[in-house]
Amino acid sequence: MREVQLGAGSEANMKKQIATEAAPQAIGPYSQAVQAGEWLYLSGQIALDPASGQLVAGGVVAEARQVLANLGNVLAAAGATFDDVLRTTIYLVDLNDFGKVNEVYAEHFHAPFPARATVGVASLPRGARVEIDAVALLQKR
């Protein structure tokens, strides 16, 4: 875990990189997640298998399951769970997949649900059909 001071002040101003082998390594110059104080900002995950680095097969449902598994593993590396997530953004190449992705999403998030936006996009890295990012508030346990 790499820590960088964000400015003068206390530990609350520390920025920490969160990384885990249980989720795909970043495919560019970004972190899997960054913690700043009690806030956790999770980069978008696509359906890459952490072991092979390859996109999972099986369509948008299989991809959504892998995306959420990856997000869950990054959350766990920071000591968090899906219950700590306050906001997500879902990026879909085909908005007709909205219902299928919602079904998988509902397996991981429960009331009170995070705030959310869903955005239709022209394409995603590696030919993925779905990407999800998140913001969480870390709870003292």
CATH superfamily of 3-137: RutC-like (3.30.1330.40)
Q: How many Å apart are CA 115 and CA 54, to the nearest integer?
A: 30
Check residue 9 and give its pLDDT: 54
What is the band of 112 on the pLDDT scale with cuts at 50, 70, 90?
very high
What are the boundaries of each domain within the chain?
3-137
> What are the distances in angstroms from CA 73 to CA 9, 57, 68, 83, 141?
31, 20, 9, 13, 18
Sort 32 into a burial class: Cβ within 10 Å, 0-12 / 13-18 / 19+.
buried
Orientation angle between helical segments 59-77 and 98-106, nearest 10 degrees: 40
Tens digits of per-residue pLDDT, 25-84? 998 999 999 999 999 999 999 999 999 999 999 999 999 999 999 999 999 999 999 999
Secondary structure of residue 73 in the 3-state scheme: helix
